[in-house]
Amino acid sequence: MAFPNPDRLGFFLAAALVLLLIPGPAVLYVVAQSLEQGRRTGLASVAGVHLGTCVHVIAAAVGLSALVVASAFAFSVVKFAGAAYLVYLGIRRLLDRRAWFDVGRERVALRTAFVRGAVVNVLNPKTALFFLAFLPQFVDPERTVWSQVVVLGLLFVCLGAVTDSLYALAAGTLGRFLRRRQTALRYGSGFAYIGLGAATAVAKRT
């Protein structure tokens, strides 16, 4: 089993941290969950999102990511499945007329938030594209490739879990101050989901 070259590891960690600090679809999903359901639900979403990331790491290691990029049909299936799921979440949120912060309101179970986060990220083709484009830059082709990809991918997951958790905690705290603006928050969250779905649907293979 080969590990990444130590000389490249520092550059990888720095580049990964910069990319993770830039809000993307996963961050926006976590923020939306944290705003409407609180920090615990946001953190459960983070755990689910990065379980989904682990799936892409394994896929990249065995060559599935290359298949998704190379095959127009496979890419389209994953892309539109993910887009449809995000749009579904957005429409359901827009149609939900209940007060988000009422004491008697049924909250999303942590397990449900976890599963949703995993589904959203597993069905995000941009994650597969990212690992296919990003990780090979730090892999030594003369050594065992799959093990290097796994190590780099898991490091990325760990960093992502930390940065996304910070976003979840911040958004969950902010949500406490938005109790009197529930309508705006509901519409904002709903359109955010729909926007993520639309962005996924128009993702290009190049």
CA dihedral 20, 167, 39, 102 (to 10 degrees): -120
Count the domains in the chain. Answer: 1
Residue 177 carries which DSSP code? G
Task: Render pLDDT for 8-63 as a digit per residue (tens, 0 to 9).
Answer: 788 888 888 877 876 667 777 888 888 778 889 989 999 999 999 999 898 888 87
16: in domain: no
60: in domain: yes
17: in domain: no
7: in domain: no
Model pTM greater than 0.75?
A: no
75: in domain: yes
11: in domain: no
9: in domain: no
5: in domain: no
Task: For residue 182, give its domain range.
Answer: 25-201
The number of helix segments (H) and strand segments (E) in the chain equals: 9, 0
Task: Render pLDDT for 117-175 as a digit per residue (tens, 0 to 9).
Answer: 898 888 877 677 777 777 777 877 777 778 888 899 999 999 999 999 998 888 877 76
- DSSP per-residue codes, 49-79: HHHHHHHHHHHHHHTHHHHHHH-HHHHHHHH
